[in-house]
Every structure is written in structure tokens, then in C-alpha cells.
Structure 1
């Protein structure tokens, strides 16, 4: 009888224990709309950033589960779109459970602080000709000298050595990180693709400003290819069909260049959204980026 009890009951106890532990690791009842805000001050460049964090529906700080993290540039406008979209996609489990972090600048009553900060942070090199272009200054009603480019490497240092450690210390994160940005943010994401070997593995390069500084991103890719045959990354690129021939041609040329290198480990896809402008395409691009980079396989 004792032997029978051991044979039958002990496996049952084991199953119950494992089930209880699994339940403790991941709550059965999802909690939607979990988001938190932080005002983060960088000691590297002296700037302050608004960090908005969107958490998965089963997230609990008491869990030992680790989640991938997607860092969104221009978080002041991209984060609300991404958070609402992920809430809908989570409803039927269409994407992985991922922590989304929006890195934003001041976005209250004026475009000025947003434009001047991103102009500096997202550009990999200094381009005085673009800095003094009257079109940008007049359109955003900016004073002369307010646009100063070339802070990309410093901003990357802020992300790598300050923002990521901050997020890792406050949330249950894994080393699986992605970065996504639109326009200048797309330029910066492309720059990260070749300058951060282990920092990011998923990239959303949306309507990228690859015209910057005489198309230097293409030279960066070419230089990278002479030393590397492997590029372990999942890359999704988009552009709107109404953005103009130059924007479309540069995105497609960049995608073709990556494809033609036959990099080992590269998973590349792209999409042109019909009848969308440079700004109207943002929402569609963010939604598709979540599904492509974090979509669950059927």
C-alpha cells in the first residue's frame, strides 16, 4: 500500500507543485494598461528625458520571469501609440510579452525643445549645412544657432550606460533588447545597427532620414561589411508611399544593400505603406513593427 501511494501520489504532488510555481511566476489574470513614468537626468550630457514604460499584461515585480525590452525613440509621441497598440495586440496574444520603453523629450506646448534635442541626439555626425538650413528653422520657428547636430555617439552612450542600467535595475528585463525610431530616430536606429554589437538585436528603422550628411549611413554600412560577414539582427524597415521618391529610394537602396551582403544571422523585411505621408505613417509603422519584431508565430 505504501509503495502504491508513492507511485501514484508523489507524481501528483510533483505536478501540483510545478503548476503552483508556474502560476506564481505568471499571473493567470492579465492586468491591462500597466504603465509607469520616470523623469531621468543624464550625467553624461546633462539632459533630462521622460521615460515611459509599458508593461506586459502578466507583469509583476515579484516574478522571476525576465522580459525583452523595446526602446522607442521620440517617446513623447511614439509611446502613447505603442502602448495603446500593444494593449490591443495583447488581448488575443498576438505579440510576445515585451516591456516597451519610450525615451522622450519635452512635449508640452512647443515643438522647439523636442526638435532641438532630437536634432542633436539622433544625428551621428555634425552637418553645419543642415543645421543652418532656413527651411527647418522657419518651419519650427527656431532661432538661428538652435540646431546643433552630431550628438549621436554621446546619446548612444547615455542609452547604453545610463538608461538601460536604470531600466534593468527597476524592471525584470532580459538581455534581449530592441530599438525603434522614425525619421531622425530611424537614422539613429540604423546607426546603432552597425555600432552596437551586443546591445540590440531587433531594429525598427521607420522612414529613416538616410539622406543625412550626404548619405553617410551607406558608407557606414560599407565599412562595416569589409570587417564583418555576420549581422545577428532582426530588422524591419518602413516608409510611406507619399514621402517622396528620395525617401523611398534611400530606404529601399539600404534594404537592398543589406540583403546583397548576405550577412549571416540577418533577418530583414521591409514595407511601403500606401497613401501615407511622412507623419501619417507613424501609427501604422509602430503597429507593424510590434507585429514583425515581436509577433507570435502561428
Structure 2
């Protein structure tokens, strides 16, 4: 197989202020290698935590495109500016990714998580506004500038994985593909499980491709155990599988020996290849 030497073109970071969002967000755009050589449109992958996950995602896309395992995509990273104060950056992530002020999970795990956190961020409550900002403002603005097709995916890690689950269950038509790495799905006192039950009560199908991934070693870190990463991901995968939605394509993975930090690269690698497999039509 001949390797492709072209790489994604990363454009200068821009900053946008969303309606109802208390601070501006950095927006980063990476265009696929063939973008400047034609006029076709591309699927769009939206990556939360622009300063953290976007560079890793683009790096993987460069390689996976080179070896012809993943389709070409427009990759867009959106996230709170990379503040010098880690506590402030963490507080902004918590606000953006959780829909309720009490962002921890209910019960024993949440109590332990609060007790173990030495830099406890401010509460959540901004997920609705953040989702609207992504879909109704950033997407609309960038669609007038870049060649989007009507195929959007969303990626999130940890709290961002919770946000991916929130988007899937509160506004499922906004994206068609969802990748959640080490997702804290039981946050906000099991809100996502309430949303899942409400959705199931009124729908007999869920049109989505969903990839969930976490690390087996996330069961050894006290804080991560308290956050219920592995348990909540497994519980959500079981629930969605048992719903037997005909249009849902669900993949769940638990990576041996991988931690809360290291599992992300594994989930991104397999998740991208699962959700966006290379085909001749997407070459």
C-alpha cells in the first residue's frame, strides 16, 4: 500500500463568544488533505476540549488517513481557552459539560469524589447553552465558510464524554456519530439515565453510531472510581443494547491496563476507525 504524504491543514485559532455562555471559546479548524484540490463537501468531527484533545485527534487523523483506515473529515475543536490557572480551566470545563449545578454523581461515589477533590471546580449548569452554541452558532457560522456535508460527529473525554452522552440523549438529531472516552455518565445525579429512560418511553428507534471506551485501570484510581467511569459506561451500554433500537450502532470497549489518561488515545484510534471507516467513496 502506498502511503499518502499529505497532512491536515490546521488553521489559526479563532475565538467565539456564545449566547448564554459566560466566556469565549477557542475554535480550531483542521482541513483534510484533499480539501484544496476539489469542491466536494466533508463530514465534520467536533472535538470538545480544543486545547487538549484536538491536537491528538488531528495527529491520529493524519496517520489513519495515510494508511487509508479513516475517511477524510473536517475536524473542529471547541473549548475553553487554555488558561494558565488549572483550577479556572477545570471550572470552565465542568460548567460547559454538565447540565446541573450539582455535577457529581449521586450516592456514595459522589460523596467520595467531592471529598477527594483538592481543587473542587465550581458547579455545572452550562451544558444546554454549550450544546446550542456548538450546533446553532458555531456550526452555522463555519458552514458558511467551509464545505460541510450533513454528517456531524461529536468527541468528548471524561466530563466531555458526559457532554457527548448529554447531546445524544437530549438532542439526538444534532449529531449522527458519538465518541465518548472515559465518560462520567452518572454525573449530575444520574441525569443521563433519566434522559435515557424518558427517550425510551417515547421512541422506538435511535438513529446514531455510538462508540464508548474506557480503561480497565480506571478501576484502581480512587477519584476515578468515585466518578463511576467504568460502571456508568457499562450500565449505559447495557441499557442501550437492551433497547434493541434497529438503527443504533453501538460499540463499547474496556482497554486492559489503560488509565483515565491513557485510554483516550486507544478510544480515539478505534473509535475513529469504527465510526468513519475508509471507503472509496470517502477517499
TM-score by length of 2: 0.86
Deviation at 1:256, TM superposition (A): 0.8
Residue matched to 1:80? 55
- Separation of aligned partners in 1, 2:260 and 2:5: 35
Residue matched to 2:107? none
Relative contact order, higher structure (CA 8 A, sep 6+): 2
Structure 1, residues 9-56: CA drift from partner, whole Å, max 9, x if none? Answer: xxxxxxxxxxxxxxxxxxxx9742311122222243242111111211
Deviation at 1:126, TM superposition (A): 2.1
Question: In terms of Rg, which structure is larger?
Answer: 1
Indicate the RMSD between aligned Cα atoms, in angstroms. Answer: 2.2
Residue matched to 2:155? 180
- Structure 2: segments with no counterpart, 5+ residues: 105-109, 220-224
- Structure 1: segments with no counterpart, 5+ residues: 1-28
- Separation of aligned partners in 1, 2:194 and 2:229: 17
Q: 1:243 aligns with which of 218, 228, 243?
A: 218
The 3 A distance-change label for structure 1 pair 113 and 166 is farther
Contact kept, 8 Å, 2:216 with 2:254, in 1: the verdict is yes
- Separation of aligned partners in 2, 1:30 and 1:171: 23
Equivalenced residues, count: 263
- Separation of aligned partners in 2, 1:198 and 1:261: 18
The 5 Å alignment of 1:121-140 reads 121-127=96-102, 133=114, 135-136=116-117, 138=118, 140=119
- Separation of aligned partners in 1, 2:31 and 2:103: 40
TM-score by length of 1: 0.82
Contact kept, 8 Å, 2:26 with 2:78, in 1: the verdict is yes
1:113 aligns with 2:88: yes
Contact kept, 8 Å, 2:71 with 2:279, in 1: the verdict is no
- Separation of aligned partners in 1, 2:229 and 2:206: 24
Which segment is superposed worse, 163-172 or 106-115? 106-115
The 5 Å alignment of 1:108-257 reads 108-127=83-102, 133=114, 135-136=116-117, 138=118, 140=119, 147-244=122-219, 246-257=228-239
